[in-house]
Amino acid sequence: MEAPFGIIFLKKAELFNLVSRFDKQYGEKQILRWTYGHHKHLGSPIKTEHLSLGSQNNKLHDFKMIDSKGGLRSQFKYLEKNSLTKPLENLVVRGFANYFNESEGHNAIVINKDGLLVGEVIADMEKDNIFIKANYLFYSHMMDHLGATVMMIVTTIGLIKLFISFFYVK
């Protein structure tokens, strides 16, 4: 995590607000968290077979969608009803993924840069670091409620402080 007032941090604070509103049942958080921390080749697609309990290639355990008995956790039971494309479609619609290619249709996606950033935010939220969570909460609410003008003022003040400290460090 970078210091407050960095461009990436402000983008992550904005995404924090969005992530906190995700519908828990579709598994988007689980897929994005796994992609950020464990997906070895980002050009490889995430496919519906990765969400199928009956598939040898399923990643449901990696996505933490499996309960202690080896079945789907209750909020992911919809995956048993042939709704395997829903989480993939949601990620594309939210702008966190792109469809892999035409021949796969809605059955395969590749997570994009924004999706990886959201995965990083989710991983940050799950850490036991109150400083990170407080920063996300403070800056996301600040952006959400006070608007762009106030953020520009705060950012300008931060940049002025940075420049002043840079020139006086000699």
Q: Tens-of-pLDDT digits for all 170 residues of the chain?
A: 455 557 777 788 778 877 877 766 567 888 888 888 887 677 888 888 888 877 788 888 888 888 888 888 888 877 776 677 888 888 899 899 999 887 777 888 999 989 988 898 888 888 888 888 887 777 777 666 656 666 777 788 888 888 888 777 65
Residues whose CB is less than 8 angstroms from the CB of residue 79 and which lie 6 or more positions away in sequence, other chains included: 27, 51, 52, 53, 60, 65, 72
**pLDDT at site 42:** 73
Other C-beta atoms lying within 10 Å of the C-beta of residue 85: 16
Q: Where are the domains of the chain?
A: 7-165
Helix spans in 101-129 (H): 113-126
Contacts of 81 (CB under 8 A, 6+ apart): none
Tokens describing residue 64: 């933490």
Q: Check if the beta carbon of residue 124 is closer than 8 Å to that of residue 37.
A: no
For 7-165, CATH number out of 1.20.120, 2.60.40, 1.10.10, 1.20.58 equals: 1.10.10
Q: Which helix (H) or strand (E) holds 4?
A: none
Question: Chain-centre distance of CA 81, in angstroms?
Answer: 25
pLDDT value, residue 98: 92
Greatest CA separation for the chain: 66
Q: Is the whole model's pTM more than 0.85, yes or no? A: no
